A and B are shown apart, each in its own frame.
Chain A
């Protein structure tokens, strides 16, 4: 026997009846999570059931997606609350780790509710600038090449084995100076965030102000 086919109108009616008590509960307790989850779940079931009977329209598909995301956020929020309560009772590191992981999932679920373009933009904004990576890679390449040449000249390896002695001394001097400059620049780039002296000064000031360092 095949499954009984129910009209979409009938499914809608049943869903509305099922959702009504939860809506009343939400009206009384605006921050309640479980009734909201139940509402989202019912609507997800409704759209899935309708999808079996006929093709969903674009707006229906959008609403289904919204309900799914809302359901994920609510589940994650519920997990956060239960993990926080457990950590509050026990204060164990394992529960702390569980709490942090639940919070991370909640953050992710919230981020999923953003429109895709906005989400991509937010993520891309976090990526460090390309110039920094490029410059460091460039300097690294230059240093590697110069080191290789320097060693070649110093130990008279081919193709520098026939180089006259005056030329060898001159080359060593020039390459040494260039290498020194490159190291200095790399060091500058790497340290431009906060210099060590600045950090020490900051530490002294904080200590003077009575910070518990």
Chain B
């Protein structure tokens, strides 16, 4: 069993060396697509041999390149970003020379009917096929495969996102994605925030049902990524660790909440003195010894504490 934390970092944070001492990071395209000279930025990074080389990031740090996000019709600023043809986005991703490339995907909406859901899932599967085909055509992947369907050689790993409208649908998607993708993502953020009328416990229960079903399918053969699982509720860690231990799974977690709390809210993960069983984010002003912490200090401290919590939980439940 292995649990890794992937932090959602921006270009500015990479420049400020937030990457030191972390397992890996996730770079979404929204961080640079809004820049003034996107093309020259992409060209510079390409000529330097990729983002890791351009920023002096060591090889051991995992770099996951995100895909474009689709815009919801009710979004306040819908002109902020546009969806590009998936293969253009892939070409750009290859220029950044990451370890893992997220396959572009269409998320499901609450208002989607049965037909629309099927269409979207079919498109997602097509995009995965297209990505694989393009990489093979351009010599980044070999066409010969192992028995489980994965290519024998690949310069990049693919992260396929499994969407679904009920528990088994996620498992079905995972079954398809695992033939082409090394990492399987489950968009759990939506499960925890967008379901109306359910209590927090019920939401987490549903999320763990989905994860169990997906793990039933992939077992310990692929990496499972919890997309958008920012660990807003730290107290849910033991449940996740137990699940991962049950399947001997390799789990990667997005930690957007940690980055947000560190950089914007200036909060550190701390024990409550009055109730030592609770760990929560507390503003630096209220934490003894953390008053003068910069954003980077807070981020490093939170990363360290979270990793420590994960290790301790593994030890205790093992």
Taking Cβ atoms with an 8 Å cutoff, the residues of A that contact B are: 84, 91-94, 96-97, 100-101, 103-105, 107-108, 120, 123-124, 126-128, 130, 132-134, 136-137, 140, 143-144, 147, 183, 186-187, 189-194, 196, 199-200, 202-203, 212-213
Give the segment of B5-13, B195-203, B220-228 that binds chain A: B220-228
| Binary CB contact string for chain B from 135 to 153 against chain A (1 if under 8 A, 0 otherwise) | 0000010000000101011
Given A191-B83, A193-B86, output 10 extra A-B contacts at Cβ < 8 Å.
A93-B2, A93-B223, A104-B156, A124-B43, A126-B91, A127-B39, A127-B95, A132-B84, A190-B82, A190-B85
Contact B39 A133 (CB under 8 A): yes
Inter-chain contacts of B126 with A (CB < 8 A): 194, 199, 202-203
Give chain A residues whose Cβ lies under 8 Å from the Cβ of B59. 101, 105
Assess the A200–B119 pair: CB atoms within 8 A: yes
Expressed in whole angstroms, the Cα–Cα distance for A30 and B82 within the complex equals 53
Q: Is the CB of B122 within 8 A of A193?
A: no
Q: List residues of chain B with CB within 8 A of the CB of A130.
A: 39
Contact A203 B122 (CB under 8 A): yes
A-B contact pairs, 20 of them (CB 8 A): A92-B220, A92-B250, A93-B221, A96-B222, A100-B154, A101-B99, A124-B43, A127-B39, A127-B91, A127-B92, A132-B84, A137-B38, A183-B79, A186-B79, A190-B82, A190-B83, A190-B84, A191-B83, A200-B122, A202-B126
Query: How far, in whole Å, are A91 and B150 apart by their CA atoms in the complex?
Result: 12
How many residues of chain B have a CB within 8 Å of chain A? 48
Interface residues of B (CB under 8 A from A): 2, 36, 38-39, 42-43, 46-47, 49, 59, 62, 78-80, 82-88, 91-92, 94-95, 99, 119, 122-123, 125-126, 130, 140, 148, 150, 152-157, 176, 182, 220-223, 250
Q: Nearest residue in B to A187 (C-beta to C-beta)?
A: B82
Chain B residues with Cβ under 8 A from A91's Cβ?
A: 148, 221
- B95 contacts A133, C-beta separation under 8 Å: no
CB-defined contacts of B99 to chain A, threshold 8 Å? 100-101, 104
The 4 closest A-B pairs by CB, nearest first: A193-B85, A203-B122, A93-B250, A143-B79
Instruction: Judge whether A213 and B176 touch: CB under 8 Å.
Output: yes
Known A101-B59, A193-B88; judge A94-B250 contact (CB<8 A): yes
Give the distance in Å from the alpha carbon of A96 to the alpha carbon of B38 in the complex: 33
Query: Complex Cα distance A147/B77, Å?
Result: 10
Nearest CB on B from A189, distance (A): 7
Q: A123-B47, A213-B122 are in contact. Are A103 and B176 (CB under 8 A)?
A: no
Kindly identify which residue among B49, B78, B95, B182 contacts A96, using a CB–CB cutoff of 8 Å: B182
Q: Which residue of A lies closest to B92 (CB)?
A: A128
How many Å from the CB of A76 to the closest CB on chain B? 11
**What secondary structure prevails in chain A residues at the interface with B?**
helix
Q: A94, A103, A126, A212: which contacts B154 (Cβ < 8 A)?
A: A103
Q: Residues of A contacting B84 with CB < 8 Å?
A: 132, 190, 193
Closest B residue to A105 using CB positions: B59
- Please indicate the chain B residues that have their CB under 8 angstroms from the CB of A199 in the complex: 122-123, 126
Measured between beta carbons, the chain A residues less than 8 angstroms from B82 are: 136, 140, 186-187, 189-190
A128–B91 touching, CB < 8 Å = yes
- How far, in whole Å, are A108 and B49 apart by their CA atoms in the complex? 9
Q: A103, B153: Cβ atoms under 8 Å?
A: yes
- A194 vs B119: C-alpha distance when bound (angstroms): 14
Contact B38 A140 (CB under 8 A): no
Residue of A whose beta carbon sits closest to that of B124: A199
CB distance from A13 to the nearest CB of B (A): 39
Partner of B42, one of A108, A127, A140, A191: A127
Report which of A97, A144, A193 forms a contact with B223, defined as CB distance below 8 A: A97
Rounded to whole Å, the gap between the CB of A98 and the closest CB of chain B is: 11
B94 contact set on A, CB distance < 8 A: 126
Which residue of A is nearest B222, CB measured?
A93
B152 CB to closest chain A CB (Å) equals 8
Contact in complex: B79, A93 (CB < 8 Å): no
Smallest distance from the beta carbon of A48 to chain B beta carbons, Å?
A: 25
**Do B85 and A200 have beta carbons less than 8 Å apart?**
no
Taking CB atoms, residues of chain A closer than 8 Å to B150 are 96
Residues of chain B with a CB closer than 8 A to A191's CB: 83, 85
* Alpha-carbon distance A84/B122, docked complex (angstroms): 33
Task: Report chain B residues within 8 Å CB of A120.
Answer: 47
Instruction: Please indicate the chain B residues that have their CB under 8 angstroms from the CB of A104 in the complex.
Output: 99, 155-156
* A190 to B80 Cα, complex, angstroms: 13
Complex Cα distance A39/B287, Å? 60
Q: B39: shortest Cβ distance to chain A, in Å?
A: 4
Q: Which residues of A lie under 8 Å from residue B43 when comparing CB positions?
A: 124, 127
The residues of A that contact B123 with a CB separation of less than 8 Å are: 196, 199-200, 203
A-chain residues with CB within 8 Å of residue B125 when the two chains form the complex:
203, 213
